[in-house]
């Protein structure tokens, strides 16, 4: 039978692991990541990069910040977004607050 002492010991152990992971591990590895980030920052400065290389499947997902607002729908008339990573990109804020004077409303 598990006794209260055993359970509390288990919880304290898990909390110890959590504290090590959430606070100590990031500090231990920060020098390494700082070095990598510094190199990447230098590349961003030297090449004038504007986007992260995360979604390479379509031009408007590779350079999200440079894409036209409706680029997903410009491949051909009535085209629907079909690239999976397009689902990650939310619509621009303007669609949440449409202009009250927009015709057809």
Positions that interact with another protein (CB under 8 A): 1-4, 7-8, 10-11, 14-15, 17-18, 21-22, 25-26, 29-30, 33, 36-37, 39-41, 43-59, 61-68, 70-71, 74, 83-85, 87-90, 93
93/98 with CB nearer another protein: 93
* Distances from the Cα of 47 to the Cα of 54, 55, 57, angstroms: 17, 19, 22
Helix (H, G, I), strand (E, B) or coil at 1: coil
Q: How many residues does the chain have?
A: 105
72 contacts: CB under 8 Å, gap ≥ 6? 58, 60, 79, 81, 83, 86
Smallest separation (angstroms) from another protein to the CB of 27: 9
1/80 with CB nearer another protein: 1
Smallest separation (angstroms) from another protein to the CB of 67: 8
Q: Are 72 and 62 in contact (CB under 8 A)?
A: no
25/79 with CB nearer another protein: 25
């Amino acid at each position: 039978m598990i006794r209260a002492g055993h359970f509390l010991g288990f919880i304290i152990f898990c909390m110890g692991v959590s504290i090590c992971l959430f606070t100590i591990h990031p500090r231990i590895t920060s020098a390494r990541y700082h070095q990598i980030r510094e190199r990447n920052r230098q590349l961003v400065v030297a090449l004038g990069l504007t986007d992260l290389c995360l979604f390479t499947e379509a031009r408007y997902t590779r350079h999200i910040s440079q894409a036209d607002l409706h680029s997903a729908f410009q491949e051909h008339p009535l085209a629907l977004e079909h690239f999976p990573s397009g689902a990650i990109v939310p619509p621009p804020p303007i669609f949440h607050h449409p202009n009250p004077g927009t015709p057809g409303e």
